[in-house]
Structure 1
Amino acid sequence: MDHERIIRDVTASLPAASTALEACQRAVTALARHTPATISVLLQVHDRLRCVAATGAWQVFATVPPKTGIVGRVHASGETAVVPDVAADPDYLPVRPDVVTEICVPVVDPAGRPVGVLDLQWSAPVDLTPWRVTAERLAGRLGARIMALGGPPAESRSEKLLRHAAALSAAPTEGELVAAAVCAARDVATLSAGVLVLADRDGHRLGTPPHGQFGGVAGIADQADGAVPGELESRIRAELTEAGPGALRAIVERVHRYGAGYTLGEAGQPPTAEYQPLAHAGVRTLVAVPLGPPDRGGVLLVADERLLYPDPTTVSLMELLAGHAWNSLDRLRTLDRLREQAISDPLTGLRHTGPFGKRIAAATPGRTALLAIDVDGFKTVNDTYGHQAGDQLLIGLARALEGALRQGDELYRVGGDEFVAVIEVNRPEEAVRIAERLTEAARRTGRTISVGVALPRPGESAELALRRADQALYAVKRHGRDGVRLAPA
């Protein structure tokens, strides 16, 4: 085989290319005339190797994560890989079942830095020594032509959206999802600010990323990827916060009523009343798209202080992003709801036995007080008025007891009409006073309770301390109910 002719033919095809992608395709096409090998060129696009030209393969890998496969290894190391037997190389990525041999060479820029790889795979034995030299020479000339045409292609907006969608799906919390969504919006729309307005039980609020974290990247400043919000975004959040929930609701209602919208980037055109807070923040370009249903979702706002023209394609991409963000948010909320149901009493909403066991296991001797609480005469209510009336009594009583506790005190339902409060105190007398506040709160509902108080002793298990609290409670019962008793130290 005349390898000099191969080099001349491929080299001659490169000057006619007007883009880096066309240069890669011309090189692959010219090379394929001389060998039955499966040929591909992969260039670095953002954080992955993307196949930009290929021939002779049943299937190619469109993108390859960093350092994955033989191609990733070659790109990371900048060193050619000659693989006489692909079955013996654990990094081989199978393209077709009959491949036996592979040569992968780095495509480098004039400074010798890898910008991609040229990969050849054969299904029959081949003399690899001359092919290595040929592949390396061709890769060098292809790399020079790619750089002369401006370098590897930039990541397209649809490719960006696909990459960000993976970050949205992987977000473990709502805050991190908000961060990932606004980062994606800024990056894909090429605008400087992104804000999510979300509905909740109390109305509408601004979605808030975790402190110091944007776009799912903590502590990493990457303005080109939209990872860091600009000053405009801070002004938008400040203006919307000052305008209040009514302004947020007005924006959500407008966008959900009329659908996605965008500005034309023309000066001298006044915004509608709903968008006045944004104009006050300095917004001159705005894309607004609905997020989920109006009663549970919200709105994605992407903005810039420059007068731009976000074409309909940009709006369509933002609608796709908003749809994916909503699916991810709805999944997180569903998981949170299921977790809460798993650890909470469905009737009263209080935590129940499982979490209570963990809490008392962490009790501090001499500082943690356990208040065993029992509703006086509850069985009579059930027998006389029915279980529905008993349920309503428990719900009302649970709310009253919660209201009488201090911030940080915890109330659990551990049985039918049995509750336990876990509180931190400095002295036993303080625990007794709080227990008396609970009995007063119960009386205001028209019912009475009996409360036993115990503080775990040094070396005493929390279970034994709770048993002493129960014994004190039954001592109250024996002496007429509706009272408090401190278990002996």
Structure 2
Amino acid sequence: MDHQQVLRDVTVRLPMASTVAEVCQATVDSLARHTPATIAVLLHVHDRLRCVAATGSWQVFATVAPDAGIVGRVYTGGVAAVAPDVTTDPDHIPVRPDVTAEVCVPVPDPAGRVIGVLDVQWTGPADLAAWRTTAERVAARLGARIVALGGPTESRSEKLLRHAAAMTAAGTEWDLMTAAIGAARDVSTLGAAVLVLGGRGGVRLGAPTVAPGELESRIRAELTEAGPQALRGIIDRAHRYGAGYTLGEAGHPPTVEHEPLLRAGVRTLVTVPVGPAQRGGVLLVADDRLLRPDPTTVNLMELLAGQAWSCLDRLRTLDRLREQASSDPLTGLRHTGPFGKRIATATPGRTALLAIDVDGFKTINDTYGHQTGDRVLVGLARALEGALRQGDELYRTGGDEFVAVIEVSRPEEAVRVAERLTEAARRIGRTISVGVALPRPGESPELTLRRADQALYAVKRQGRDGVRLAAA
């Protein structure tokens, strides 16, 4: 084997390649002319070793963790590895069953920093010592050319795939929207991205990125100033006509819907509909430079918007299911499950439990039927909710039994809230009995509720329609 010829072939071909991917493929092709080995170049791209070029294998791992396999060991250690018998090396990653030997060398940049690995695997005899020397010299030339071309980079489709995985993993709407906006900026390479969302609560701006740039802040300010009607106009236009983009040409006035964006300093804009027209919204990706987005950029933003909506719809569905699981289907109030978790956090001397019972409810059911009884419960639930303060919580814990959990500074405050509840019931033609208890130090929440119930029964015995504070 003429290893000098191998180096000459690589040296001639590398300058002819104009992209990192072409350089890596040229290296693989040059080596493959001189050996029947399985060859791969893996570069470190966004926390993974990504296979940029390969040959001689039925299957290639697209990405490998930086600490996995012989390739990961070489990358993290920066030292070449020679395995004369791969069956004795536990780090060997089998890409074909007949491989017997492997040489893996780091790919350094001109400063000596490892940016990837060159991996060569044989199925038959090979002069591994000579090939190690040749591979190291080839890798040095490869690293220098990669850096000259700008270094290892992700393609935009690879970026989109990575961001899609991050959006799928988002646990809240805020996290999802933040991830989607960051993804739009990264994949499009434009300077700002904003989500405008519709829904039952009206039109609103989605969550901002953690550190929005100046243009993004101006866009949000102008859209907020323009108001919901202007936001709805932008959404309707995108959903009526589809995704659109500017050509980055000066002297062409925007449509009326986009005037707030022009005032914010936008000179380049991509608009993409998100989800259905009534429940969805629009993704705005913009820049204050005069640029010329291409159709591929728009297509990637459409894919991103579709993934974002799919994840958002899933989160909203899960929220609805959780709400249904934790709520009483008749009154909409939370029931015993959430109540148990809430009282477990009761603060001694501060958290008051108000046990509430509807007076004469059994008579209503027996006389007028359960449908009438249900209407009474719904009406009473709304009345009691309206009488509570901001932050107070009301639960339905039984047929005609409710419990309010409130934070107070002293027992008298809890009694006044309970009296407001009895007055609210009277206004709709009903009466209730209320027992009030504040947790004692070291007392379990269940015992506190039992004392509130005992105070309630005392009210019942004294004629109903009243409030009683349990002994401290």
Aligned-partner residue type, residue 343 of structure 1: S
2:213 is aligned, of 199, 222, 230, to: 230
Give the TM-score, by structure 1 length. Answer: 0.91
- CA change 1:428–1:9 in 2 (3 A) is closer
Q: Does residue 469 of the first structure (1) align with residue 440 of the second (2)?
A: no
The partner residue of 1:257 within 240, 245, 257 is: 240
User: Could you report, residue by residue, the CA deviation over 1:230-254 in whole angstroms, capped at 9, with x for unpaired residues?
Assistant: 1111011111112222221221122
- 1-structure distance, mates of 2:331, 2:90: 57
- Paired with 1:27 and 1:111, the residues of 2 have a C-alpha distance of 21
> 2:441 is matched with which residue?
458
Report if aligned partners of 1:45, 1:152 keep a CA contact under 8 Å in 2: no
For 1:139, the equivalent position in structure 2 comes to 139
Cα drift, residue 12 of structure 1: 4.1
SS in 2 for 1:203: coil
Q: Which residue of 1 aligns with 2:185?
A: 186
1:203-228 deviations in whole A, cap 9, x for unaligned?
Answer: 1111114xxx63xxxxxxxxxxxxx5
User: What amino acid sits opposite 1:308 in the alignment?
Assistant: L
CA distance in 2, matches of 1:196, 1:312: 20
Contact 1:203 1:249 (8 Å CA) reproduced: no
- Partner of 2:198: helix, strand, or coil? strand
2:157 alignment partner in structure 1: 158
Check 1:440–1:108 CA distance in 2 against 1; reply closer, same or farther (3 A cut). Answer: same
2:202 matched residue in structure 1: 203
**The residue matched to 1:200 in structure 2 has which SS?**
coil
Q: Deviations over 1:366-417 (max 9, x none)?
A: 2222111011122222233332322222222112111111122221110011
Q: 2:326 is matched with which residue: 334, 339, 343? A: 343
**Which residue matches 1:91?**
91
CA distance, structure 2, for counterparts of residue 205 and residue 159 of structure 1 = 30
Q: Does 1:403 align with 2:386?
A: yes
| Residue 73 (1) aligns with residue 88 (2) | no
Q: Which residue of 2 aligns with 1:357?
A: 340
1:88-487 matches, cutoff 5 A: 88-148=88-148, 150-152=149-151, 154-209=153-208, 214=210, 228-487=211-470
Of stretches 192-201 and 381-390 in structure 1, the one that deviates more from structure 2 is: 381-390
Percent sequence identity over aligned pairs: 78
One-letter amino acid of the structure 1 residue matched with residue 141 of structure 2: R
Change in 2 beyond 3 A, CA 1:113/1:446: same
Alpha carbons of 1:126 and 1:233: their partners in 2 closer, same or farther (altered >3 Å)?
same
- Cα distance change of structure 1 residues 135 and 352 upon mapping to structure 2, 3 Å threshold: same
Judge conservation of contact 2:422–2:433 (CA < 8 Å) in 1.
yes
Contact 2:45 2:152 in 1 (8 A): yes
Change (3 A) 1:275 1:388: farther
| Aligned equivalents of 1:418, 1:282: Cα separation in 2 | 59
- Contact map agreement 2:146 2:152 (CA 8 A) in 1: no
> Which deviates the most, 315-324 or 124-133?
124-133
How far has the Cα of 1:321 moved from its partner? Answer: 0.5
Contact 2:160 2:304 survives alignment (8 Å): yes
3-state SS in 2 of match to 1:67: coil
SS at 2:203's partner residue? strand
For residues 329 and 66 of structure 1, the distance between their equivalents in structure 2, rounded to whole angstroms, comes to 32
Question: Measured at CA, do residues 452 and 18 of structure 1 come closer, stay the same or move farther in structure 2, by a change above 3 Å?
Answer: closer
Tell me, yes or no, if the aligned pair for 1:291 and 1:297 is still in contact at 8 Å.
yes
1:361 Cα deviation after fit: 2.3
In structure 1, runs of 5+ residues without a counterpart are 215-227
Shift in alpha-carbon separation, 1:123–1:310, aligned structure 2, 3 A: same
Q: Greater CA deviation, 14-23 or 456-465?
A: 14-23
In 1, distance between residues paired with 2:116 and 2:377?
Answer: 68
| Aligned 8 A contact 1:168 1:181 in 2 | yes
Alpha-carbon shift at residue 316 of structure 1 (Å): 1.1
1:3 to partner: Cα distance: 3.3
- Cα RMSD (Å): 2.0
- Quote the offset at 1:46 in angstroms: 4.1
Contact 2:115 2:152 in 1 (8 A): no
Aligned to 1:221: none
TM-score under structure 2 length normalisation: 0.94
Structure 1 distance, partners of 2:10, 2:234, is: 58
Change (3 A) 1:427 1:310: same
Amino acid at match of 1:73: R
Q: Are the equivalent residues in 2 in contact too, given 1:44–1:152 (CA < 8 A)?
A: no
Q: Is the alpha carbon distance of 1:125 and 1:353 closer, same or farther for their aligned partners in structure 2, counting shifts above 3 Å? A: farther
Residues of 1 paired with 2:173 and 2:468: CA distance?
Answer: 45
For the residues of structure 1 that align with 2:150 and 2:228, how far apart are their CA atoms? 48
Residues 92, 443 of structure 1: alpha-carbon distance in 2 compared, 3 angstrom cutoff:
farther
- How many residues were matched structurally? 472
Query: Structure 1's 33 and 279: CA in aligned 2 closer, same or farther, altered over 3 A?
Result: closer
Q: Secondary structure at the match of 2:36?
A: coil
Distance 1:461 1:109 in 2: 65
> SS in structure 2 opposite 1:172?
coil
CA distance in 2, matches of 1:430, 1:190: 57
AA partner of residue 423 (structure 1): I
Distance change in 2, residues 1:368/1:51 (3 Å): closer
Assess if the C-alpha contact under 8 Å between 1:289 and 1:301 holds in 2.
yes
1:30-75 per-residue CA deviation (whole Å, 9 max, x = no partner) reads 2223222101112234443322221111111223343333223322
